[in-house]
Amino acid sequence: MALSKDVYAAFEDVVGTEYICDDPVIMPSYHATEFAAVILPKNTAEVQSIVRLCNKHKLPFRPVCTGWTGKFAKGFLYLDLRRMNRIIEINEKNMYAVVEPYVISAQLQAETMKRGLHLNLKGAGSNCSAMLRGHGHLDQTTSGDDRNHLAIEWVTPAGDIIRSGSLGSSDEWFCGDGPGPSLRSILTSAVPPGVTPGVFTKAALKLYHWPGPEKFPIEGVSPNYSLSEIPPNFLARYFSFPSVEKMFEAEIKIGESEIAFELMGFNVAMVAANITTSNEEEERTFKRLSQEVQGPGFFIILAGNSAADFEYKKRVLHHIVSAAGGKSLAPLEDPRTEGILLCQCIRISASIRETFRPGGAFSSIPVMGQRDLTIRWAIGAGKAKEPLIAKGLIVDDGGAFFGWGVEQGHLGKTEIFCKFDPQNPTAKEAVEAWHNDQSARAFRERYFALLSGQNEEVGRGLSNYHLWWNKIQKALDPNRVAPEAGALV
């Protein structure tokens, strides 16, 4: 797996001695895989030189930012993009920010909040790259996925630098679709590495109006942070409903009325995870809150642009929720808890407490599509979790799922996961089986779900897209140096 001395030296010439390492002792920290080496480029030029060397030596590579746990093949060159961490520009007038891959969402969000702006935070957490493609809590008002990518600077697998959208014909970042090449259908990547082979070295991200304070008035010492006061014209509530149908009815109406700053189809297990500071407290809180809800529900944040706007939104919310038989979860009306959730859902993007804390791992199936349909699928996936819960193999969350609409609409994301201890082989096996079964069921029932390793089957169902994609990949990556896909954060 090791690079020859000459090849190593060639990479060393690009980044300097200090920024490349092939000592096997560091590899466990990089996803427990025997990489050929880990290299830390500092700019686009270095990335391009590295990629060209990879082509010359037929060495596959994989770029990664902060890097959650993931699966990697042996022998790759690992591009750790940590040194590419600059905010290039925050354009307030045109409402976009240009960043390098290792700017995390928390940093960019903090900078934009000072300017009355904010951005879509991905569900992976604000500790991850701001450039990530994906979905998150704020999808209602900030959309999701590649909709937030404007112009992109991309080092292709062959080592060319492509500038998409407006950047392709000028030095402006304002548009992803032109003037200049759009390439949106190819640049649908999670960033980096995602499904687009190569490396995204800079991207312009769409910014949105932020009606809140320049920064939240946080008090307390970790992990007991709370807000000294709820910012003016902000409200956070959790509503439960008598049935899924009623919940969806309210969700749709809230979308139509465009009153929600955030609408997150949390289940109470996720609420409990977010407002507690330990596993034991979470378990107790989940049991308690489960007794207080009447059925499925969602978490909502209202953010008024003025006192009058806020009052209007509250009245509309009350009307919609009442009509659907919704009931507010009383413990969350406590301002302290409300403040914690505001921070968790706007600044943290929840994530770690609700995924990794219980057992160290989770397995997730996200399904995109029309919410009322995908919810039906998720109910089935939730029922399929029940035997695993009964056997103590996964954390008891009541078999719940979650999700939300995107852009205030009926289309959105529905997701379900199992939290488990990856050191328990029985649990791991059971969760994998659940994941495969439910993903396959989603595909059979014609929902859009990621099916790893089943591209051919999925492709046949989707106009043979996999054949076209293979051709595109071959053209982009003639030496097959960027063969891997998958969203690493």
Partner 1 sequence: MGLEQYKGDMEMCCRCSTCKFIPMQRVTGHAYANVCPSISRYNFHSYSAGGRMNIGAAMLKQGMNYTDRLLDIVYNCQMCGACGVSCNYAMDMEVMEPIQEFRIKCVEDGKTHPALDKVIAGLRKHDSMVPPSGKRGDWASGLNLKDATKEKVDVLFHVGCLTSYDKNLQKLAKATAKILQKAGVNFGIAGDAESCCGGRAYQMGYKEDFLRQANKNMALIQQAGVKTVVTASADGYHAFKVLYDKFNLKGSLEVLHISEYIAKLIQDGKLKPRNKVGLSVTYHDPCGLGRLGEPWIHWNGKKIPGDRFVFDPPKVYRRGTQGVYQPPRDVLHSLPGVKLTEMTRIKEYAWCCGAGGGVSDSNPAFAQWTARERIEEAESTGAEAIVTACPWCEKSFSEAIRATGSNLKVYDLVELVEQAIS
* Footprint (CB under 8 A) of partner 1, residues 108-127: 108-111, 114, 125-127
Binding region for partner 1 (CB under 8 A) out of 1-9, 248-256, 422-430, 478-486 = 422-430
Instruction: Decide if residue 423 touches partner 1 (CB under 8 A).
Output: yes
Q: Which of 352, 373, 379, 440 binds partner 1 (CB under 8 A)?
A: 352
User: What are the angstrom distances between the C-alpha of 331 and each of 268, 277, 314?
Assistant: 12, 16, 19
**How near is the Cβ of 40 to partner 1 at its closest, in Å?**
5
Q: What angle do CA 44, 47, 51 make, to 5 degrees?
A: 140
The one among 392, 411, 446, 457 contacting partner 1 by CB under 8 A:
392
Beta carbon nearer to partner 1, 59 or 345: 345
**Which residues are paired to 91 by β-bridges?**
96
Residue 17 interacts with partner 1 (CB under 8 A)? no
Q: Pick the closer one to partner 1 by CB: 110 or 458.
A: 110
3-state secondary structure the chain: CCCCHHHHHHHHHHHCHHHEECCHHHHHHCCCCCCCEEECCCCHHHHHHHHHHHHHCCCCEEEECCCCCCCCCCCCEEEEHHHCCCEEEEECCCCEEEECCCCEHHHHHHHHHCCCEECCCCCCCCCCECCCCCCCCCHHHHCCHHHHEEEEEEECCCCCEEECHHHHCCCCCCCCCCCCCCCCCCCCCCCCCCCCCCEEEEEEEECEECCCCCCCCEECCCCCCEECCCCCCEEEEEEECCCHHHHHHHHHHHHHHCCEEEEEECCHHHHHHHHCCCHHHHHHHHHHHHHHCCCCEEEEEEECCCHHHHHHHHHHHHHHHHHCCCEECHHHHCHHHHHHHHHHHHHHCCCHHHHCCCCCEEEEEEEEEEHHHHHHHHHHHHHHHHHHHHCCCCCCCCCCCEEEECCCCCEEEEEEEEEECCCCHHHHHHHHHHHHHHHHHHHHCCCEECCCCCHHHHHHHCCCHHHHHHHHHHHHCCCCCCCCCCCCC
- Amino acid identity of 316? V
- Only one of the segments 47-55, 353-361, 454-462, 478-486 lies at the binding site for partner 1 (rule: CB under 8 A); that segment is 353-361
The correct pick among 361, 368, 442, 449 for binding partner 1 (CB under 8 A) is 361
Interface with partner 1 includes 80 (CB under 8 A)? yes
Q: Interacting stretch for partner 1, rule CB under 8 A, among 166-174, 185-193, 222-230, 291-299? A: 222-230
Cα 13 from Cα 53, distance rounded (Å): 11
Select 229 or 256, whichever has its Cβ closest to partner 1: 229
Q: Rule CB under 8 A: is residue 427 a binding residue for partner 1?
A: yes
Does 395 interact with partner 1 (rule: CB under 8 A)?
Answer: yes
What is the footprint of partner 1 within residues 49-68 (CB under 8 A)? 66-68
What binding mask, one character per residue, do residues 22-41 give for partner 1 by CB under 8 A, x or -? -xxxx-xxxxx-----x-x-
215 contacts partner 1 (rule: CB under 8 A): yes
Cβ-based nearer residue to partner 1, 77 or 361: 361
Distance (Å, rounded) from C-alpha 393 to C-alpha 389?
6
Nearest approach in angstroms of CB 324 to partner 1 is 33
Near partner 1 by CB under 8 A: residue from 221, 291, 425, 463 = 221
Task: Check: CB of residue 217 under 8 Å from CB of residue 225.
Answer: no
Residue 343 binds partner 1 (CB under 8 A)? yes
Q: Residue count at the site for partner 1 (CB under 8 A)?
A: 72
CB of 481 to partner 1, least distance (A): 22
| Cis amide prior to 425 (ω within 30 degrees) | no
By CB under 8 A, tell whether 478 contacts partner 1.
no
Binding mask 280-309 for partner 1 (x = CB under 8 A): x--x--------------------------
> Is 89 one of the binding residues for partner 1 (CB under 8 A)?
no
Quick one: 30 or 469, whose CB is closer to partner 1? 30
393 binds partner 1 (CB under 8 A): yes
Span interacting with partner 1, options 15-23, 172-180, 259-267, 327-335, rule CB under 8 A: 15-23
The least distance separating partner 1 from the CB of residue 441, rounded to whole angstroms, comes to 23
CB of 216 or CB of 310, closer to partner 1: 216
Kindly tell me which of 38 and 367 has the beta carbon lying closer to partner 1. 38
Does 174 bind partner 1 (CB under 8 A)? Our answer is no
Q: Which of 5, 171, 223, 425 binds partner 1 (CB under 8 A)?
A: 223
> Is there a cis peptide before residue 211, judged by omega within 30 degrees of 0?
no
The reply on whether position 203 binds partner 1 by CB under 8 A is no
Supply the minimum distance, in Å, between the C-beta of residue 348 and partner 1: 5
CA–CA gap between residue 269 and residue 306 (Å, rounded): 33
User: Closest distance between partner 1 and the C-beta of residue 129, in Å?
Assistant: 10
